Chains A and B, each alone.
Chain A
Amino acid sequence: MQLRLALAQIATALGDVSANLEKHIQLIKAARSEKADLILFPELSLTGYVLQDIVPTVASAADEDNREFRVLLRESRDLDIVVGFVDEDSRHRFYIASAYLSGGKILHVHRKVYLPTYGLFDEGRFFAPGDSVRSFATRFGSAGILICEDFWHASPPYLLWLDGADLMLFASASPGRGLNERDRLESAWWVESVNQSYANLFTSFVAHSNRVGFEDGLNFWGGSTVFDPGGQRLAHGPYFQEGLTFADLDLNQTRRTRARLPLLRDERPGLVQKELERILSK
């Protein structure tokens, strides 16, 4: 089975949902004309990243009552879409979230589990953390979504792997930092390295869409990637520029890789559980 994936690395307008939605529509059209099956937008792609006190004014539930979702659900009839937004629950807690839309329906919403609140980050001040990591069925098999800091921790990708995800969809708004003598920022180097490592460790496809542009002094570096289950890089978006990068995923590669390297077969979640219980009961 083939999957043509489009990585939409956009610069967002901070707090201007209409302008961002307009850009989503343009890129969805461009992806459709290139026969893409799935388009992956970055973290908070409808709202921008350093929202602070803007949060309550751009939050929305992922449903038809919302203009953005009405429009995007209509667009998702022939092209699956992963979009980033601020999710508000019925008790008015706000989450950083990404939704998977397909065939006019919302198949899954992931709420960011790890909210970085250190250094230049202040997410925990403005958002509630999600409390689940789940795979979900798509027409391309089982997939999972994680958002930025979620995959700086090893456990969420591991949980998705055990829960059945063979296609990991990562969305980021990663601020560039760590300028040194190398031709890539330290943050870019780190994220690309772990993405490749997850592809290798979990013998799975790992796709990452990272935004570009600026918010005050923060730059976002782009460099979206797709790695196959053998850790081979299938696509790489440009650094610091908007772009729509396509990758053709031969989903049968997962079978071939796992026939050679049965890490999933040999993984012992029961052992992990036993040891975790011991560790947590200390």
Chain B
Amino acid sequence: MKRVKVDLTIHPDVARTILTGFIRSEISRAGFERGVVGLSGGLDSAVALALAVDALGAANVLAVRMPHRDSSPDSLEHAQLLIDQFGVKSTTIDISPIVDACQLHDAKMSRGRRASIMARTRMILLYDQSRVFRGLVLGTSNKSEMLLGYTTLWGDMAAAIHPLGDLYKTQVRQLARALQVPAAIVDKAPSADFWAGQTDEGQLGFTYERVDQLLFLLVDRRFLPSECVAVGFEKSFVDKVTELIRSNQFKRMMPPIAKLSNRTIGYDFLYLRDWGT
């Protein structure tokens, strides 16, 4: 089979129009006017913030910075750049003491466990700020992360809406440039920032540039894994990625309800969230 050209270029204005309309529609129909974004200083939350400002106005957006003592010092500074540039309200909460308290009962907690606690601590604080600010939480997860399961269930995946969930990481980057996100943020290595020197690509073992091409073929263009190999992707890489997609399906769903009655939520009780609005 011939090598196929995988072009992930998006028209940023079309994406921006749809996503700002989506944010405005879904927040207002839920009865709110405001949005809350956990601002890490990284690319995804920068784009979510910029879109929220576009959709709702700067006065209706709260940026929440939630550093941990292990976070990179750049993160806070980059988040501040965005707060200043977009003129949004902001608050900063140090999560270190909360994470420490969770570790009191188990001194030998692994780095991975602590990372999950950090992600879920941020979720608790974001939802609390959402009550204070009377705004909905905008998710910052992108399609690459969701497909690969590079997310924390009930942590960074917890949100009222996911504006970036159908954009691959490399597409989020294109949109970021169009939204005037500073180059320091667009160009830095993506990181969950759970410990010093951590990068997504180091942990995953491949670059977003490369995996996005494969994901696009597998998911969007419905290529079989064997067809991806035939167009030039290494078999071991294709196998690893297809298994990540499959094994992380649970993170992309509500937990299944055991069916007993004639009408069960999720199976035959079917309504959109926008029901009646």
Contacts and interface: CB of A to CB of B under 8 A. Distances in A.
A181 B25 contact: no
A184 B10 CA distance: 10
B188 to A, nearest CB: 25
Contacts of B106: none
Given A53-B269, A183-B13, A240-B21, A13 B276 contact: yes
B21 A214 contact: yes
B25 A16 contact: no
Contact of A216 (B17, B166, B272): B272
Contacts of A216: 26, 272-274
Contacts of B271: 52-54
Nearest to B171: A179
B11 A14 contact: no
Contact of B270 (A52, A213, A214, A217): A52
B18 interface: yes
B25 A213 contact: yes
Contacts of A181: 7, 9-11
Give the dominant DSSP class at A's interface. Answer: loop
Interface in A6-54: 13-16, 50, 52-54
Given A176-B18, A240-B17, A240-B18, A14 B7 contact: no
A185 B21 contact: no
Interface string B260-277: 000000001111111111
A15 B272 CA distance: 10
A41 B93 CA distance: 50
B58 interface: no
B15 A179 contact: yes
B14 A179 contact: yes
Contacts of B270: 52-53
A163 interface: no
Interface in A146-185: 176, 179-185
Nearest to B23: A214
Nearest to A176: B18
Contact of B22 (A15, A50, A214): A214
A215 B17 contact: no
Give the dominant DSSP class at B's interface. Answer: loop
A63 B164 CA distance: 45
B21 A180 contact: no
Given A179-B15, A183-B13, A215 B272 contact: yes
B22 A14 contact: no
Nearest to B29: A214
Contacts of A54: 271, 275
A182 B15 CA distance: 11
Interface string B5-45: 00101110111011001100110000000000000000000
A136 interface: no
Contact of B275 (A15, A185, A213): A15
A180 B9 CA distance: 6
Contacts of B10: 179-181
Contacts of B14: 179, 182-185
Interface string A46-85: 0000101110000000000000000000000000000000
A239 interface: yes
B276 A239 contact: no
A213 B277 CA distance: 12
Nearest to A15: B276
B260 to A, nearest CB: 19
Interface in A211-226: 213-217, 219
Contacts of A215: 272, 274
Nearest to A212: B21
B183 to A, nearest CB: 22
Contacts of A213: 25
Contacts of A214: 21-22, 25-26, 274
Q: Name, among A180, A183, A214, the residue most crowded by chain B CB atoms within 10 Å (CB to CB).
A: A214
A219 B10 CA distance: 17
B274 A14 contact: yes
B277 A180 contact: no
A239 B269 CA distance: 33
B115 to A, nearest CB: 28
Q: Name, among A54, A180, A216, the residue most crowded by chain B CB atoms within 10 Å (CB to CB).
A: A216
22 contacts: A13-B277, A14-B272, A14-B274, A14-B276, A14-B277, A16-B277, A52-B270, A52-B271, A53-B268, A53-B271, A54-B275, A176-B18, A179-B18, A179-B166, A181-B7, A185-B14, A215-B272, A216-B26, A216-B272, A216-B274, A217-B162, A219-B18
Give the top 3 A-B pairs by smallest Cβ distance, nearest first. Answer: A181-B9, A214-B25, A52-B270
Interface of A: 13-16, 50, 52-54, 176, 179-185, 213-217, 219, 239-240
Given A181-B7, A183-B14, A214-B21, 9 more contacts: A14-B276, A52-B270, A53-B269, A54-B275, A180-B7, A180-B10, A181-B9, A181-B10, A182-B14
